[in-house]
Amino acid sequence: MFQGLSEKLQETFKRLKSKGKLTEADVNEAMREVRMALLEADVNFKVVKDFVAKVKERSIGQEVLESLSPGQQVIKIVNEEMVALMGGVSSKINISSKPPTVIMLVGLQGAGKTTHGAKLANMLKKQGKHPLLVACDIYRPAAIKQLEVLGDQIKVPVFSLGQENPVKIALASLEHALSQGLDVVIIDTAGRLHINEELMGELKDIKAAVKPHEILLVVDAMTGQDAVNVAESFHGDLGIDGIIMTKLDGDTRGGAALSVKAVTGCPIKFAGIGEKLDAIEPFFPDRMASRILGMGDVLTLIEKAQEAFDEKQAREMEQKLRKQEFTLDDFLDQMQQIKKMGPLGSLLEMIPGAGKQLKDAQIDEKDMSHVEAIIHSMTQEERRKPALIKDSRKRRIAKGSGTSVQEVGRLLKQFEQMQKMMKQFAGAPGMGMMGKGKK
Ligand code: GDP
């Protein structure tokens, strides 16, 4: 996410920090670099101009330049202004006190509307809501089927009346939700390749009929400033309450995410970060700014961990660690839990300062699957007592897992080191690794 921008800004900041004292010329030079980096990331020209002017004005004040760590102060200002640029606080969706809450998803074809309808439903379901997905895209023949398949995957009901009039479908879905006790209705509307009157007319009709609590525009971050233009048009014509910015996992330069709030006044409420149905995050401007500036995003990381690990399992694992009963099977378990948190690359980006170094170290998800295969090729006894594994067993395991004797040896060595480390943890009172984070 935003790699190019992030790397350039971090280089500029490194130079700033290395200087003990800053002059106005230093700040000007740094701001020129910031401006270039933002423009290259496809941030809207006017947004860049205002942003740089604000940061410069605040940075050139005497207080900053004469402070003990002027470089740090300037970075702090850039961070604050970047958070403000993206809307300051995180914006939640309007949940109506009188169910069902109606959410209408709009956007151009291919932006990720249908996928994000399902992601949103999945997320709300995890939060204890009972969503209904509604298929109002009657033009694209596969759209209804696509929604049904996705609904099936996440076990959320899908309401459809085939090619019936979309307004009728939307209205009927509300009654259906009421009768079934479903409290959130997510309407997937039709997209078009381009904005046109027919599309807007239809969306306005649905809006007038169902009076949604929330109209969310789905835009594709990869389209850069086009996404911002699309948002401006939709907001002007239809009025939207928020944006779902999709495909932020791709090779995006970040321009759309950084400009859209400033240009349209509409906040990004969710970010789509992959094709899988759990690849959606609430959008937090402060966390996003931290990631862009290479300061990591520990809060999101913790939330992901809390979702992936259940508390009981964590407690059992802690017991095992304390009693030094941690086996290769447990190791495998832990690895699978971590995989549930999302792609490794995106997790690494959230670790403060570690993003770039670790990325350069090229952590390979294939390595993880090798480790899994190796452990699966061991007998239960071997997993409990890895010391049993001598040369001939190593050869058997390597063959069974399609890896090499060296890889098996390396894993055993790493596991042994891990056990040694755990002994030290277990020996120190109050140092249970997992216990520390427990509520
Ligand atoms: P719609 O026409 O707006 O309903 O778009 P779809 O939901 O059918 O999505 C279009 C394509 O984009 C599909 O292949 C999705 O898998 C893909 N897609 C959607 N959201 C994301 C995302 O956040 N990241 C990535 N990498 N792909 C996505």
Indicate the residue among 248, 274, 295 that finishes a domain. 295
Higher pLDDT, 432 or 305: 305
Whether 121 and 236 map to the same domain: the answer is yes
**Total domain count for the chain?**
3
Contacts 24+ apart (CB under 8 A), 418-427: 418/326, 418/331, 419/324, 419/326, 422/321, 422/324, 422/326, 423/324, 425/321, 426/321, 426/322, 426/323, 426/324
Is residue 348 over pLDDT 80?
no
- Give the model confidence (pLDDT) of 191-215 as tens digits: 887 788 888 999 999 999 999 999 9
- The CA distance from 287 to 298, in Å, is 8
User: Per the confidence metrics, is the pTM higher than 0.80?
Assistant: no
Closest CA to 102 of 132, 72, 80, 129: 132
Whether 218 and 262 map to the same domain: the answer is yes
Q: Which domain holds residue 147?
A: 101-295
Q: What is the DSSP string of 56-76?
A: HHHHSSHHHHTSS-HHHHHHH
Indicate the residue among 262, 295, 328 that finishes a domain. 295
- Give the model confidence (pLDDT) of 61-75 as tens digits: 877 777 777 888 888
Is residue 354 over pLDDT 60?
no
- Give the model confidence (pLDDT) of 94-134 as tens digits: 888 888 999 999 999 999 999 999 999 999 999 999 999 99
Does the bond joining 267 to the residue before it have cis omega, within 30 degrees of 0? Answer: no
pLDDT bucket at 432, cuts 50 / 70 / 90: very low
* Count of Cβ atoms closer than 10 Å to residue 426 Cβ: 18
CA of 178 to the centre of ligand 1 (A): 30
- The CA distance from 341 to 365, in Å, is 13
Whether 202 and 349 map to the same domain: the answer is no
Q: Are 6 and 294 in contact (CB under 8 A)?
A: yes
Whether 312 and 374 map to the same domain: the answer is yes
Q: For the domain that residue 196 is a member of, what is the CATH number?
A: 3.40.50.300
Is residue 359 over pLDDT 50?
yes
Q: Are 386 and 416 in contact (CB under 8 A)?
A: yes
State residue 269's pLDDT score: 96
Ligand 1 pocket test target in 109, 113, 115 with most atoms within 8 Å of CB: 115
Binding residues for GTP: 107-114, 188-192, 246-249
Residues 6+ apart with CB under 8 A from 124: 131, 184
CA of 84 to the centre of ligand 1 (A): 28
Indicate the residue among 240, 269, 295 that finishes a domain. 295
- Give the model confidence (pLDDT) of 125-181 as tens digits: 999 999 999 999 998 878 999 999 999 999 999 999 998 999 999 999 999 999 999
Q: Supply the residue whose CA is at minimum distance from atom 19 of ligand 1.
A: 112
Q: How far is CA 99 from the centre of its chain?
A: 28
Q: Is 393 part of a structural domain of the chain?
A: yes
- Give the model confidence (pLDDT) of 8-31 as tens digits: 998 998 888 888 788 889 899 999
**117: Cβ below 6 Å to ligand 1?**
no
Whether 68 and 15 map to the same domain: the answer is yes
Higher pLDDT, 425 or 305: 305
Predicted ipTM > 0.95: yes
Whether 188 and 260 map to the same domain: the answer is yes
Rg of the chain over Cα atoms, rounded to whole angstroms, equals: 26
Q: How far is CA 148 from the centre of its chain?
A: 24
Q: Is 95 part of a structural domain of the chain?
A: no
State residue 30's pLDDT score: 92
Q: Is 90 part of a structural domain of the chain?
A: no
Mean pLDDT of 369-397: 91
CA of 215 to the centre of ligand 1 (A): 19
Q: Are 137 and 191 in contact (CB under 8 A)?
A: yes
Closest CA to 213 of 100, 90, 91: 100
Mean pLDDT, all residues of the chain: 85
Residues 6+ apart with CB under 8 A from 44: 225, 228, 255, 259, 262, 263
Q: Is 339 part of a structural domain of the chain?
A: yes
Q: For the domain that residue 28 is a member of, what is the CATH number?
A: 1.20.120.140
Q: Is 107 part of a structural domain of the chain?
A: yes
Mean pLDDT of 415-422: 77
- The CA distance from 367 to 105, in Å, is 39
Helix or strand run (H / E) with residue 153: helix 141-154
pLDDT bucket at 434, cuts 50 / 70 / 90: very low
Whether 238 and 320 map to the same domain: the answer is no
Q: Is 92 part of a structural domain of the chain?
A: no
Residues 6+ apart with CB under 8 A from 315: 434, 438
- Provide the strand spans (E) within 158-246: 158-159, 184-188, 214-220, 242-246
State residue 437's pLDDT score: 40
pLDDT bucket at 51, cuts 50 / 70 / 90: very high
- Give the model confidence (pLDDT) of 243-290 as tens digits: 999 998 876 778 899 999 999 999 999 999 999 999 999 999 998 888
Whether 315 and 282 map to the same domain: the answer is no
The percentage of the chain sitting over the pLDDT mark of 70, rounded to a whole number, equals 86
State residue 439's pLDDT score: 35
